[in-house]
Amino acid sequence: MAPKSKLPSTDFLPSSLTDPALPLPTMIVFDLDYTLWPFWVDTHVTPPLKPIDAFTVVDRVGESFALYREVPSILHALSRAGIQLAVASRTSAPELAREMLKLLHVPAPPPLPSAIPPPAERGRGGRGGRSAGGGGIVDLDDEIHWEKPRRALELFDAPLEIYPRSKIAHFEALAKKTGVKFEDMLFFDDENRNREVESLGVTMKLVRDGVTWDEIEKGVEAWWRRRGHVTKNLPE
């Protein structure tokens, strides 16, 4: 787990989640299989793993594996917003799951427009870029701080509860280790049986084919409703 190094920012969240009158969950927890990635890590993956690029790994028999398409931007945006990110998975291959999270990288989002200097200011040494000098061409990449891809594992700054126990046990461990109240947690999972965590006070959003921004918005909407906030009532 890595501490967040930037001040919280909602700039990368959908506008529907940036109403200052509505709070965001303190912690968002994700299952792994068919939630963050489209496979069962303990069934479909044959170790050892080998990265073929920053965003894809292959196993011993040549099968390739990656995160669902929208997951990278989701993890980055939620982390930037100051939301603690955790994992609760009952996989029987916890070490392999952790290895997958280490090897799969998440590309950084493009810089915000506010981070790109206007044309009139490009090439000025005072902005951190190199001077064009003599009318030379200025490489805009020299003017912008481009972030490097990060390991998916690094975006989770709350515990990773990855072991074959009930999700009740996972969430009890999360609450004990972090001090976050159950009612301040939002959980995304692909198995309906795991709604049992709602008996603790956790809000769970069932996903059918991986986490998407649409699912994130609906999940936060459900969390708002359980906390009694008046919202625009997105369909479930």
Annotated catalytic residue within 11, 19, 31, 59: 31
Compute the distance between CA of residue 92 and CA of residue 164 in angstroms, rounded to an integer: 5
Apex 144 CA angle, 141 and 146, nearest 5: 85
Asked about 33 being catalytic, the answer comes back as yes
Token pair, residue 115, equals 């981070």
Asked about 190 being catalytic, the answer comes back as no
Residues in the chain: 236
Within 8 A by CB and 6+ apart from 5, the residues are none
Annotated catalytic residue within 19, 33, 157, 190: 33
DSSP string, 4-62: --S----TTS-GGG--TTS---SEEEE-SBTTTBSS-TTTT--SPPEEEETTEEE-TTS
Within 8 A by CB and 6+ apart from 54, the residues are 105, 107, 149
Is the Cβ–Cβ distance between 89 and 159 less than 8 Å? no
Residues paired with 57 in a beta bridge: 51, 65
Catalytic residues: 31, 33
